[in-house]
Amino acid sequence: MAKRAIWGALVVLLVIAAAYASFFVAPTENSMGEIQRIFYLHAASGWAGMTAFFVCFVANIFYVLGRKQKWDWIGVSAAEVGLAFTTVLLITGPIWAHPVWGIWWTWDARLTSTFILWMLYIAYLLLRGMLEEPDRRALLSAVFGIFAFIDVPLVFGAIRWWRTQHPQPVIMGGPGSGLEPTMRKVFFFSVLAMHALMVLLLSERYRLEKTRDEFLEVQREAEAG
């Protein structure tokens, strides 16, 4: 209990420090101004979300091959947490885009593929809700999770290839490309903070899933007895 509380407090401090750094340490960007500071939350959440989806994919493979319940719990926790971070990514994107590009949304390659990725994991979670029997739910959703993750590079490839053949309304430089040194440091600090938060949320969500399972076990025993 104490360990969890300390670990949680550390992560909260880290996130506060990252927020402080992005507001007060990082220099103001020349052309975009203050709004550019949302980048540290936006891109760092994106990276943390992708890591979570990768964790989900690995957990799905381990579940299919080994059938240990804990991999199912990790899988669903990682998918939910990844979805939360991707949602932050998709919400902070338009907030940043509107003052800078003049539009909330554009069907640019990166935006579109992130949107599809987000929908794939919504489908994964919806599917879990529609499968009753726990073992079946774990297995079938794991296989779908594997298919979805395999699809991601194809989605990114197709959309990028297709969109870049058309004139683009906006061109977004990759994060880290030509970033000013202080900005770079603040950015990677934010990435670290968001990953710590992601791991914290994931482990808490995992505990919840585990406790839920134990509760159902006790309930079954009580009914049987």
Binding residues for other proteins, rule: CB under 8 A, are: 64, 116, 119-120, 123, 126-127, 130-132, 136, 139-140, 143-144, 146-148, 150-151, 154-155, 157-159, 161-162
Nearer to other proteins, 131 or 192 (CB): 131
Please report, for residues 91, 104, 134, 184, the alpha-carbon distance to residue 72 in angstroms, rounded to integers and kept in the order given.
28, 37, 10, 36
Q: How far apart are CA 85 and CA 48, in angstroms?
A: 7
- Fill in the amino acid letter for 112: T
The smaller minimum CB distance to other proteins, of residues 127 and 192, is found at 127
Burial pattern 49-78, b for ≥16 Cβ within 10 A else e, equals bbbbbebbbbbbbbbbeeeeeebbbbbbbb
Rounded to the nearest angstrom, the gap between the alpha carbon of residue 200 and the centroid of all alpha carbons in its chain is 13
Decide whether 70 or 137 has the Cβ nearer to other proteins: 137
| Alpha-carbon gap, residue 202 to 156, rounded angstroms | 26
Q: Least distance from C-beta 113 to other proteins, angstroms?
A: 9
Cβ 168 to other proteins shortest distance, Å: 16
Nearer to other proteins, 36 or 106 (CB): 106
How far, rounded to the nearest angstrom, does the alpha carbon of residue 179 sit from its chain's CA centroid? 23
CA distance 30 to 39: 14
Tokens of 100: 């800078």
As measured in angstroms, the least distance from the Cβ of 64 to other proteins is: 6
Q: At its nearest, how many Å lie between other proteins and the CB of residue 152?
A: 10
44 or 145: whose CB is closer to other proteins? 145
For residue 112, the minimal CB distance to other proteins (Å) is 9
